[in-house]
């Protein structure tokens, strides 16, 4: 961990653009410039993997843990490459800039990608570069492209309800599908190539500005994904290729029935016998994309809550151990360094804390959780922070600071907050005082969601874990990132040694 860094949490879909959803184009490059002016050296994002309307457009439920989201492709950069024309972009339907319009954005960008694909095929150098990309990424790309083409051919059906020969990946059936769906496969490859080119350009721009990128890797993958279809032996599936146990977390103070996530559980015995090869490829892909990787639900690598698939909730689950030591020894042999941030929130016991320290991985501390009845011992209070951690005001799953203050923090919580600050103040000042506390922490990194920097209310919240619709839609408006705001952040970063 580089000591005393500070940064902002913002997903690219939240950036301004005229095409219904933020992308990797001009607004992303401008945001990197803003971070540099503000003295911020970190840009944290959510997963960049494909999203689907049927999964609530969540970046944590994807058809692939390797692929990039085609919605993040910038039409404006395709114009610069000569693959689209300004006239193509002028045909965009009227799209709101206040919320992400996933449906309309997907329809319009799909048409643009088909045009760009036809033009790319006419340019030999681009076609050769695409071929090199496809060859180098074939270990995941071919299964992903075929999965997406088959999902389009069998709409509304999970992959284990596809024809048996395709479900079970019989070679003859797959060869016939590749021939039948060749045009679709070519378009899917093209989209991944364009995503990779645009992402590489953005990351290089960020790094030149002194900004490192923190990516996000969910521990589990979605059942209806290329990952599970192509690697069924790596998951606990029955003879019909359906999960017989699923992932989640047990009942706790916040939920008497726990959380039943429904993701398939890993077959760790199989993974171990094969040297954790799939996990190593997956982590290698993420380490190539990002400077740091936030590993979601880190505790599941030590012990995980396994729920019988027929159970409606998480009450009847059981703890199962994962081969943590063997797993990380394999990773250490493969990778020279592991710049991983362990998301260690929730039910964390001594074994998880020891596992994180053993691997010298920073954990997470959330200031919004700090002002409960257990003061002054609460581990999220700044005086209890540790250098090997990343301090946040809140995460994408929490309310914004303003929303928390107005809707969730009761009077007793407010009084503890005032007492900690040594003064009473209005919510506008409280938000900046909490940002100040986070940046003043001894934690090696400090990250603030952009909604908190802007002082926005709960309408700007990114995700409400208890609901499946209406999430992931907040967008930054043009003009909200002022020079005064950059100056205020820069002054705090300088004050607390994070510049």
Condensed to tens digits (0 to 9), the pLDDT of residues 452-486 reads 999 999 999 999 987 888 999 999 999 999 999 99
pLDDT at 302: 97
Indicate the pTM of the whole model.
Answer: 0.97
Tell me the C-alpha distance between 86 and 94, whole Å: 16
Tell me the C-alpha distance between 385 and 365, whole Å: 7
- Core vs surface per residue 248-267: b (16+ CB within 10 A) or e: bbbbeeeeeebbbbebbbbb
Mean pLDDT (the chain, rounded) = 96
pLDDT at 172: 98
pLDDT at 466: 74
pLDDT at 1: 58
- pLDDT level of residue 2 (50, 70, 90 thresholds): low
* List 5, 142, 296, 452, catalytic entry: 296
Tell me the C-alpha distance between 247 and 118, whole Å: 42
Tell me the C-alpha distance between 25 and 22, whole Å: 8
Which residues, in sequence order, are CB contacts of 198 under 8 Å at separation 6+?
23, 24, 25, 72, 73, 74, 77
Task: Give the mean model confidence (pLDDT) for residues 35-53.
Answer: 97
* List 343, 344, 433, 452, catalytic entry: 343
Task: Give the mean model confidence (pLDDT) for residues 45-72.
Answer: 96
Task: Give the mean model confidence (pLDDT) for residues 412-428.
Answer: 97
Q: What is the CATH number of the domain that holds 433?
A: 3.20.20.80
**Overall domain count for the chain:** 1
User: 376-419 pLDDT, tens per residue?
Assistant: 999 999 999 999 999 999 999 999 999 999 999 999 999 999 99
Tell me the C-alpha distance between 495 and 492, whole Å: 5
* List 129, 281, 397, 427, catalytic entry: 397
Tell me the C-alpha distance between 310 and 345, whole Å: 27
Task: Give the mean model confidence (pLDDT) for residues 128-148.
Answer: 96
pLDDT at 136: 96
- Concerning whether 344 is annotated as a catalytic residue, the answer is no
Instruction: Say yes or no to pLDDT of 438 above 90.
Output: yes
- Concerning whether 296 is annotated as a catalytic residue, the answer is yes
User: 95-122 pLDDT, tens per residue?
Assistant: 878 899 999 999 999 999 999 999 998 8
Task: Give the mean model confidence (pLDDT) for residues 84-99.
Answer: 89
Determine the structural domain holding residue 227 and report its residue range.
5-495
- Vertex 150: Cα angle to 145 and 154 (nearest 5): 155
For residues 237 and 243, the answer to whether their CB atoms sit within 8 Å is: yes
The proportion of the chain whose per-residue pLDDT surpasses 90, expressed as a percent, equals 93
pLDDT at 94: 83
Task: Give the mean model confidence (pLDDT) for residues 6-11.
Answer: 98
pLDDT at 469: 87
The proportion of the chain whose per-residue pLDDT surpasses 70, expressed as a percent, equals 99
pLDDT at 252: 81
The upper half-sphere exposure of residue 51, i.e. CA atoms within 13 Å in the direction of its Cβ, equals 23
Lowest mean pLDDT among 7-16, 260-269, 317-326, 464-473: 464-473
- pLDDT level of residue 257 (50, 70, 90 thresholds): very high
For residues 7 and 214, the answer to whether their CB atoms sit within 8 Å is: yes
């Amino acid at each position: 961990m580089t000591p005393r860094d500070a940064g902002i949490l913002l997903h690219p879909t939240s950036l301004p653009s005229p095409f219904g959803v933020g992308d990797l184009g001009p607004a992303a490059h401008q945001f990197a410039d803003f971070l540099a002016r503000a003295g911020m050296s970190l840009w944290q994002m959510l997963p960049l993997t494909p999203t689907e309307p049927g999964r609530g457009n969540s970046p944590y439920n994807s058809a692939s843990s390797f692929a990039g989201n085609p919605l993040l492709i910038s039409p404006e950069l395709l114009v610069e490459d000569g693959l689209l024309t300004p006239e193509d972009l002028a045909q965009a339907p009227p799209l709101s800039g206040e919320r992400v319009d996933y449906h309309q954005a997907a329809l319009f960008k799909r048409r643009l990608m088909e045009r760009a694909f036809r033009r790319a095929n006419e340019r030999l150098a681009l076609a050769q570069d695409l071929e090199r990309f496809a060859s180098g990424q074939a270990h995941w790309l071919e299964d992903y492209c075929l999965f997406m083409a088959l999902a389009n051919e069998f709409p509304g059906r999970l992959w284990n309800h596809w024809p048996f020969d395709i479900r079970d990946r019989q070679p003859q059936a797959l060869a016939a599908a590749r021939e039948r769906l060749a045009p679709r496969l070519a378009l899917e490859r093209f989209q991944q190539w364009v995503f990779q080119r645009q992402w590489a350009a953005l990351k290089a721009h960020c790094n030149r500005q002194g900004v490192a990128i923190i990516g996000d890797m969910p521990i589990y993958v979605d059942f209806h994904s290329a990952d599970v279809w192509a690697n069924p032996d790596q998951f606990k599936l029955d003879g019909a290729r359906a999960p017989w146990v699923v992932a989640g977390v047990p009942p706790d103070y916040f939920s008497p029935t726990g959380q039943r996530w429904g993701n398939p559980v890993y077959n760790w015995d199989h993974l171990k016998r094969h040297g954790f090869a799939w996990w190593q490829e997956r982590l290698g892909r993420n380490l190539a994309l990002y400077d740091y990787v936030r590993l979601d639900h880190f505790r599941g690598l030590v012990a995980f809550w396994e729920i019988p698939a027929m159970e409606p909730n998480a009450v009847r689950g059981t703890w199962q151990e994962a081969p943590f030591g063997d797993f990380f020894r394999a990773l250490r042999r493969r990778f020279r360094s592991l710049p991983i941030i362990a998301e260690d929130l929730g039910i964390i016991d001594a074994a998880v804390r020891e596992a994180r320290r053993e691997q010298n991985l920073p954990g997470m501390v959330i200031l919004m959780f700090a002002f409960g009845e257990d003061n002054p011992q609460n581990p999220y209070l700044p005086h209890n922070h540790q250098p090997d951690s990343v301090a946040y005001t809140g995460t994408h799953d929490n309310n914004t600071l303003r929303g928390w203050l107005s809707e969730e923090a009761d009077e007793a919580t407010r009084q503890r907050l005032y007492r900690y600050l040594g003064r009473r103040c209005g919510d506008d000042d409280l938000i900046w005082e909490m940002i100040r506390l986070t940046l003043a922490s001894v934690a090696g990194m400090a990250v603030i969601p952009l909604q908190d920097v802007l002082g926005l209310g709960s309408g700007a919240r990114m995700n409400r874990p208890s609901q499946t619709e209406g999430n992931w839609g907040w967008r930054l408006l043009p003009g909200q990132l002022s020079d005064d705001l950059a100056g205020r952040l820069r002054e705090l970063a300088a004050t607390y040694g994070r510049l």
